[in-house]
């Protein structure tokens, strides 16, 4: 288990927490359920003891770690245990980096949220180029539908990954009305956002985010790693995936042993050379706390633009909404910004509680982890009220 320690972080409260909220958060007692030995700590320890959790959990209040626990192995073959300094695959939990990147450009006046796709990109169907806006792709209301993915493909280079996903985005069809809410999870929207970042900056999406988000936040353990890096770097957790016969394999080392089920093979994180533009990435738990804090202190976005990022835009339920790449909800009288992601052998989630100064991180590298249940337990420990956990993967 990792020891409880201090995570470096800026002191200003996260976005939307006014002076009264900041004062209240600074004087409010730490809920007993969040402390070492508390209900959440005991719950995670039990999961690990049952073989249902391998990874890292972290609870931070106003930039200071309250609880940090690590279980299981980052690399079984090399005997490397999980710990706070290990980076985990984020899957869809890395999508908000793309939204932040676009809003940085909007803040600089280089793009407008009302710009259409055709304002910055060529080669798209006329109806997409002229009707779909940046706002639509960031809010998930583009009306686009991606073509079927080649689930058998194993990539060999960054350029090959980029070319493949760019082509898929250009082949997307407009099947709905732009601006009409749709809960579908469309790959083309994520890729188009990344392509706009590239067109405006003249850099790859991966390099832009590395410098302007990871670099600014001090996320020194975070990156868009290639498969060779994943195989060789001792600070990257390997995903352990259960196959149809019940055996468990390292998904990065064993591409040829992936499940024959194409629905599983297509999500095998080992088949990609690097995550698709606009998606994924690798991060440590403390780095995600740094990112969460940076959203509220002006490090990556000026305060009004941080508000644009997290403002509730599309209602999805009684107290849940879509923002730009980040589902937001209201629980026990406070906002929660959340992003989850998962693939076989991969589970990731980070929650920001801006009104009370809390950040929660769950990173896992094994199948069978009850991620949604863990999110609910974390929320209950922090807010004091039972909450149904979980947003988009």
pLDDT in tens, 306-356: 999 999 999 988 999 999 999 999 998 999 999 999 988 999 999 999 999
Percent of the chain exceeding pLDDT 90 equals 76
Q: What is the pLDDT of residue 248?
A: 92
Question: In this structure, are residues 296 and 354 in contact, taking their beta carbons and an 8 Å threshold?
Answer: yes
pLDDT at 272 over 80: no
- Dihedral over alpha carbons 316, 141, 358, 222 (to 10 degrees): 140
Higher-pLDDT residue of 268, 283 = 283
Q: What is the pLDDT of residue 269?
A: 52
Residues in the chain: 393
In Å, the largest CA–CA distance within the chain is: 59
Q: Which residues contact 281 (CB under 8 A, 6 or more apart)?
A: 89, 90, 94, 97, 209, 222, 223, 224, 275
User: 120-127 long-range contacts, Cβ below 8 Å, gap at least 24?
Assistant: 120/195, 120/196, 120/199, 120/200, 121/192, 121/195, 121/196, 121/199, 123/170, 124/170, 125/173, 125/174, 127/174
Least confident residue range of 145-154, 260-269, 382-391: 260-269
Q: What is the pLDDT of residue 98?
A: 98
pLDDT, one tens digit per residue, over 46-88 is: 999 999 999 999 999 999 999 999 999 999 999 999 999 999 9
Least confident residue range of 94-98, 261-265, 285-289, 373-377: 261-265
pLDDT band at 253 (very low <50, low <70, confident <90, very high): confident
Smallest CA-to-CA distance from 89 within 263, 205, 227, 184 is with 227
Separation of alpha carbons 363 and 350, rounded Å:
8
Under DSSP, the state recorded for 140 is: T
Separation of alpha carbons 56 and 144, rounded Å:
36
pLDDT, one tens digit per residue, over 137-191 is: 999 999 999 877 776 778 889 999 999 999 999 999 999 999 988 755 579 999 9
Helices 371-383 and 39-49, packing angle to 10 deg: 160
Least confident residue range of 1-5, 53-57, 151-155, 247-251: 1-5
Q: What is the pLDDT of residue 22?
A: 46
Torsion sign, CA atoms 77, 80, 81, 85: negative
Burial per residue of 257-269, b for 16 or more beta-carbon CB atoms within 10 angstroms, e otherwise: ebbeeeebbbbbb
pTM check: above 0.85: yes
pLDDT band at 6 (very low <50, low <70, confident <90, very high): very low
Rounded average pLDDT over 108-117: 98
Bridge partners, 252 (sequence order): none
pLDDT at 256 over 90: no
Rounded average pLDDT over 204-223: 98
Percent of the chain exceeding pLDDT 70 equals 85
Separation of alpha carbons 6 and 286, rounded Å:
9
Rounded average pLDDT over 220-249: 94
Separation of alpha carbons 196 and 118, rounded Å:
10
Q: What is the pLDDT of residue 259?
A: 46
């Amino acid at each position: 288990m990792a020891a409880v320690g201090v995570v470096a972080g800026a002191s200003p409260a996260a976005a939307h927490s006014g002076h009264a909220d900041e004062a209240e958060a600074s004087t409010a007692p730490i809920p007993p359920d969040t402390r070492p030995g508390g209900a959440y700590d005991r719950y995670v320890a039990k999961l690990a003891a049952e073989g249902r959790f391998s990874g890292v959990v972290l609870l931070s209040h106003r930039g200071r770690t309250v609880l940090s626990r690590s279980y299981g192995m980052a690399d079984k073959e090399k005997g490397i245990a999980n710990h706070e300094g290990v980076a985990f695959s984020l899957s869809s939990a890395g999508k908000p980096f793309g939204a932040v990147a676009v809003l940085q450009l909007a803040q600089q006046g280089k793009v407008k949220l009302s710009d259409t796709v055709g304002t910055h990109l060529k080669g798209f169907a006329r109806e997409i180029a002229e009707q779909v806006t940046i706002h639509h792709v960031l809010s998930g209301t583009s009306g686009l539908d991606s073509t079927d993915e080649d689930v058998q493909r194993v990539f060999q280079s960054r350029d090959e990954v980029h070319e493949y996903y760019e082509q898929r985005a250009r082949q997307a069809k407009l099947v709905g009305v732009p601006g009409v809410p749709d809960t579908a999870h469309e790959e083309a929207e994520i890729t188009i956002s990344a392509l706009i970042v590239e067109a405006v900056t003249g850099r790859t999406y991966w390099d832009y985010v590395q410098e302007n988000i990871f670099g600014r936040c001090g996320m020194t353990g975070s990156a868009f790693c290639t498969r060779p890096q994943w195989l060789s770097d001792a600070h990257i957790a390997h995903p352990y995936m259960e196959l149809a016969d019940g055996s468990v394999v390292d998904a990065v080392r064993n591409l040829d042993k992936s499940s024959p089920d194409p629905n599983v093979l297509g999500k095998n994180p080992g088949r990609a050379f690097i995550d698709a533009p606009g998606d994924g990435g690798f991060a440590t738990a403390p780095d995600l706390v740094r990112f969460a804090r940076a959203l509220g202190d002006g490090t990556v976005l000026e305060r009004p633009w941080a508000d644009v990022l997290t403002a509730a835009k599309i209602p999805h339920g009684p107290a849940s909404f879509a923002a730009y790449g980040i589902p937001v909800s209201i629980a026990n009288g406070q906002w929660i910004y959340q992003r989850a992601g998962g693939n076989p052998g991969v589970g990731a989630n980070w929650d920001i509680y801006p009104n009370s100064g809390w950040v929660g991180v769950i990173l896992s590298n094994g199948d069978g982890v009850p991620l949604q249940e863990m999110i609910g337990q974390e929320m209950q420990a922090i807010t004091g009220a039972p909450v149904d956990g979980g947003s988009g993967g």
